Structure 1
């Protein structure tokens, strides 16, 4: 299923238009395998036929399915565990001191995929019941993929997914077996909410989030799109909040809206200025 330049361009433009992600040379190898299921389902013989179909206004459902198939939803519980250790031992204690008066933390997992990151955060709080007993913890997970968000809302994972990143004790404490799958308990699901959202749109709750985790998302953007994403993230974070990026991501040389934190790998603090984006009216979205 070789992808010629013209067909590749059409598919790449569709992905960029819908998500901001670039179908770079390094991602071309995934196209054939990612779309193979759609080829069988829609009885498409080759990628040129697919490209022609995508040009038709009547094929919006197919276009959505193509974009969903091309998105990388790779994730697992406590992915890159060292980062969660920094959160548990440095970031959350710092925020606890700052928010002691109101006893409320609001966290945004941007690009949450199928929800494991948000639920991992919820487990951190649940494992310290005495520390957070009288606090309100709100964790919002968002992703551009509606399919991923549906899975996150269900909180239902396969045996393979449940074994990636969590201990047996955590599995038994926070999940219940259900016909070969594992269902997240109400105890941790009560702290989370999920909604479909594009990181390039205005944040769900401007200026409200104490912590934003946006890991391994910006890797797929070109520099201009990445700068826009940083602007959106900055407008969503409280003045004394934190941004955590993935291991291969940085704000250095990418944006003037954040600066490296004094502690913790991949941690950044917002630089709030009276920019045109911050001063412009923002569309209102429902919060918690």
Structure 2
């Protein structure tokens, strides 16, 4: 194995240990470009030198920065409009019927990146004030990247970010321009809570969600890690809830905890008979 291969192995092991994601052969081309800023900042000449530095126990800060730089935080508002159409026209009306007695919805945007997905959900509810009057809407956005979560909490986006996916009317209705950036309105931010979280850990509180959106996250896991992620997601979703995955993801042949739904659009429902007793206790405790 060449020295360069060994260096990529060290970096890949770090990424897998911290996030569960795999630095496959197809993703190695991103390393130099993604880390170019760190190379300049720390005076690093190449990947081999970086790998040597990462082997030192004292380089915790550098290791964290490397992982953050390698994560793919690509996102935008209402990414894949057909998915949000399915939410508006099928999933949310279904959940509204099921939760009419409590008038409370809990939604988890797992792998939320810089917050656009969670804010898109909040806009859907804000655009239907009569339908959701007197409802308590709780949206939780989580991501393994602390840097991405900080951006999501700020709710402040560049002109390029704000124009991706939303209409001019939505932009003016839900955002305020401020010194070349656009700030999300408090009325949609109030529905959302952001926190750093790894989906390979147990689900965050309250641990029982009516809808879980986990799109384009599982693509970067190997089969074993993906199966563990599905187990964690299953333990955090209501028995009659919904799971939405990305276009290139599926539960078929990956897990026995979910089954495809009749709604399509990468929507799945949990199979309660395949949820372990420990997971059932976890759900019951969160109710």
TM-score range, shorter chain: over 0.9
Task: Give the structure 2 partner of residue 157 of structure 1.
Answer: 157
Extract structure 1 runs of 4+ deviating beyond 6 A.
Answer: none
SS at match of 2:201: coil
Residue 104 of structure 1 aligns with which residue? 104
CA contact (8 A) 1:113 1:145 kept: yes
Are residues 240 and 199 of structure 1, via their aligned partners in 2, closer, same or farther at CA, if it must alter by over 3 Å? same
The alignment of Structure 1 onto Structure 2 pairs a total of residues equal to 284
Displacement, 1:4? 1.2
CA distance in 2, matches of 1:241, 1:16: 30
Superposed CA deviations along residues 27-50 of structure 1, whole A, max 9, x for unmatched, are 111101000000000001111111
- Report the CA distance shift for 1:207/1:239 in structure 2 as closer, same or farther (over 3 A): farther
Larger mean Cα displacement after TM superposition, 63-72 or 270-279 = 270-279
* Displacement of 1:208: 1.4
Pairing of 1:41-80 with structure 2 (within 5 A):
41-80=41-80
Partner SS for 1:244: strand
Corresponding residue of 1:242: 242
Bigger CA drift: 144-153 or 265-274? 265-274
Superposition RMSD in Å: 1.7
TM-score by length of 1: 0.95
Residues 206 and 235 in structure 1, CA contact (< 8 A), matched pair in contact too: no
1:275 aligns with 2:276: yes
Give the secondary-structure state (helix, strand or coil) at the position aligned to 1:169. helix
Cα contact 2:235–2:280 (8 A) shared by 1: no
Shift of 1:205: 2.7
- State the alpha-carbon separation in 1 of the partners of residues 206 and 251 from structure 2: 20
Q: Report the equivalent of 2:33.
A: 33
Q: How far, CA to CA, are the matches of 1:227 and 1:276 in structure 2? A: 18
In structure 1, how many angstroms separate the alpha carbons of the residues matched to 2:3 and 2:172? 46
Structure-1 separation of matches of 2:33 and 2:45: 14
Question: What residue number does 1:185 align with?
Answer: 185
Q: Secondary structure at the match of 2:139?
A: strand
Question: Hey, what's the Cα distance between the residues in 1 that align with 2:94 and 2:214?
Answer: 19
- Residue 142 of structure 1 and its aligned partner are, at CA, apart by 0.1
1:165-184 correspondence to structure 2 within 5 Å: 165-184=165-184
Q: 1:206 touches 1:237 (CA, 8 Å); kept in 2? A: no
Contact 1:34/1:70 (8 A) holds in 2 = yes
Name which of structure 1's ranges 64-73 and 47-56 shifts more when overlaid on structure 2: 47-56
Q: Deviations over 1:234-267 (max 9, x none)?
A: 0000000000000000000000000000112100
Structure 1 unaligned regions, length at least 5: none
Q: Indicate the residue corresponding to 1:136 in structure 2.
A: 136
- On the 8 A contact 2:251/2:259 being kept in 1, the answer is yes
- Kindly indicate whether the alpha-carbon contact (under 8 Å) linking 2:207 and 2:282 is maintained by their aligned counterparts in 1: no
Q: Does 1:83 align with 2:58?
A: no
Residue matched to 1:115: 115
- Give the Cα separation in 2 of the matches to 1:94 and 1:279: 23
